[in-house]
Amino acid sequence: MHWSLFAFAGLALLFAHGLRLPTSGSRWMGVLVFIASLLITAFAIKVFAGRADIGRTTDFDRIANHAAAQAQQTDAPLILFTGASYSRNAIDPERLTIALTERGYNFRVLNLSLEAASVLERDQHLQQFIKQSGEVPAFVFVEVAQAFDYNAAFMFSNSKFNARATEQFDIPTTLRTLAGISEGACGGTIACLKDTGFLGLHSALNVFNVGLIGRGEASSEAGLTASYDPQYQPRLESRPEDVETILPVTEQAVPRWATSYRTLMRERLQAQSVSVVGYYQPPVQPADQRMYVEALCQTELQAEFCLSADHPELLQKLSGDVWFDRDHLLDDGAAIYTLWLAEQLIESGVLEDPK
């Protein structure tokens, strides 16, 4: 428990106590005053907690702390990749830094990825990294995947009612997620109703600071965890059957909320002096989902740096025993992808001529 947050909660309650009506007041007026007192107390605690950088710390805070510590140990320009577990198991920032340095490109690569992290949650912790480290990356590459575009509340398919699920659904994130759900980015009517219900509950827990007093701490004090999570032993029957399959690109239905948020995030990062905001997909998805990203690269993201995984040479190299499961690489597969990624970044010219 963070003592200062507990003390401030007490002060907020005392302040709200002063709003009580005389005993002769109307019942409905009493209800309204109670609600107003509750909202004022919750708002006051949230403002204080935000200014003190106190929250429900999670693995993503520890990953952001680790990345910030790495950034502060170098004078080299930063290249930052942010994604979900697809990237966490596929991009080794140490290997990629070495590969670029050996080819004459002096950059420090950072990985800011965690399983089931939607683009909204990743954006929150990217901003946390920039604030905490005091460093703005020269390049930010954002993982794109159909699974996240088509499921605005992806977190609920992974976990619910934990610190990470509650912490991310502040009011702006809730509204963005609700916009996605309203478009049907949730997998059918029943799934959309469930996601809406879970979204309302998690947002209420966030707004009213449930669990914050007992578990709140400054994110900078949460500890350090490296994002790259190498795997060395495969799960049974882990190798994808269609690893070398490349489908013809066809027009894809892209949810408006996803396009809108990618634009908003890109404009914000560019306003913060990020030279290039690019997009990529690790080669860890079924052929139809890889084609979805290739279609994005040719349409919505054609004016941006966009690197899909549909490259025959890369997929052929990954056709061996380098898979942890259908969606994640072993460390040997990550080594192959990391080296290929270095070569693609150099050949594209994006590192030489930033916007």
- The C-alpha atoms of residue 306 and residue 289 are separated, in whole angstroms, by 15
Percent of the chain with pLDDT over 70: 91
Phi, psi (rounded to 5 degrees) for 175 = -65, -40
Q: Which residue has the tokens 């605005």?
A: 152
pLDDT, residue 355, reads 44
- Quickly state the pLDDT bin for 237 (edges 50, 70, 90): confident
Number of Cβ atoms within 10 Å of the Cβ of 301 = 22
CB contact at 8 A, 174 and 135: no
Angle at 82 between CA 109 and CA 274, to 5 degrees: 70
Percentage with pLDDT > 90 across the chain: 76
**Alpha-carbon separation of residue 214 from 15, 54, 62, 192 (angstroms):** 21, 11, 19, 32
What is the structure's pLDDT at 9? 56
Q: Give the tens place of pLDDT for each residue, 257-279.
A: 999 999 999 999 999 999 999 99
Q: Residue 19 — pLDDT band, cuts 50, 70, 90?
A: low
Residue partners of 4: CB distance under 8 A and separation at least 6: 52, 54
- What is the C-alpha to C-alpha distance for residues 206 and 168, in angstroms, rounded to an integer? 8
Question: How far apart (Å, rounded) are the C-alpha atoms in residues 70 and 124?
Answer: 19
pLDDT for residue 125 is more than 70: yes
Amino acid at position 313, single letter = E
Confidence (pLDDT) at 17: 57
Instruction: Tell whether the model's pLDDT for residue 4 goes beyond 80.
Output: no
Which of 24-28, 171-175, 196-200, 268-272 is least confident?
24-28
Mean pLDDT in residue range 85-103: 97
> How long, in residues, is the chain?
355
DSSP letter string over 64-89? HHHHHHHHTT--SPEEEEEESHHHHT
pLDDT mean over 284-289: 93
Q: What is the identity of the amino acid at 327?
A: D
What pLDDT score does 354 carry? Answer: 47
Model confidence pLDDT, tens digit, residues 189-229: 999 999 999 999 999 999 988 888 777 888 888 999 999 99
pLDDT class of 10 with cuts at 50, 70, 90: low
Higher pLDDT residue, 159 or 14?
Answer: 159
Instruction: Dump the DSSP string for 280-323.
Output: E--S-S-HHHHHHHHHHHHTTTTTS-EE-S--HHHHHHTTSS-E
Q: How far apart are the first and last CA of the chain?
A: 46
Residue 63 φ/ψ, nearest 5 degrees: -70, -45
For residues 201 and 345, what is the distance between their CA atoms, to the nearest angstrom?
A: 42
DSSP string, 188-257: SHHHHHHHHHHHHHHHHHHHTTTTHHHHEEEGGGS----S-----SPPTT-S-TTTT--PPP------HH
Q: Coil, strand or helix: which one is 92?
A: coil
Q: Determine contact, residues 171/203, Cβ cutoff 8 Å.
A: yes
* pLDDT for 29: 74
pLDDT for the residue numbered 124: 96
pTM comes to 0.89
Confidence at residue 22, expressed as pLDDT on a 0 to 100 scale: 54
pLDDT tens for 101-118 read 999 999 999 999 999 999
Residue bearing the bigger pLDDT, 14 or 173? 173
